[in-house]
Amino acid sequence: MEDEEKAVESLVYKTEASHSPSPIRCCWFRLRYLAATSIICGCSCLGIVALIFAIKAEDRHKAGLSEEAVQWGVRARRLILASFVIWLTVLILVPLLLWLLSYAIAQAE
């Protein structure tokens, strides 16, 4: 009976230890490169702020402040995602709105 309890405790401990609480699953350099890419291929103003946050996250990680690094990293990832989403939305909506405008002009004539 004790062996089973010890086995269950060790299994629970191993599963808790294997799941890291850090929401950042990528390396810090990759986060910086994604932010730089979001400047070029996304909404550049959000990409610049994301790059600043990614650099701050990397600096905090190097200083050993992992909780602050995770917070800055999460902010950077959200801004990177927002930058790409806004740019893709603009790329899809502008041609659609131009087509709709030309259709409305054609119907008015």
Residue of 99 and 12 predicted with greater confidence: 99
Residue by residue, DSSP assigns 24-68 as: --S-HHHHHHHHHHHHHHS-HHHHHHHHHHHHHHHHHHHHT-HHH
CA distance 108 to 104: 6
Span 42-61, average pLDDT: 87
Domains held by the chain: number = 1
Computed on alpha carbons and rounded to an integer, the radius of gyration of the chain in Å comes to: 23
Could you read off the pLDDT of 7-36 as tens digits, one per residue?
556 654 554 444 444 444 457 678 888 888
Q: Could you list the residue range(s) of the whole structural domain that residue 22 is in? A: 2-108
* Predicted TM-score (pTM) of this structure: 0.65
- Residue 23 sits at the vertex; the CA angle it makes with 19 and 29, to the nearest 5 degrees, is 115
State the average pLDDT over residues 80-103: 92
Mean pLDDT computed over 34-53: 85
Work out the widest C-alpha separation in the chain, in whole angstroms: 87
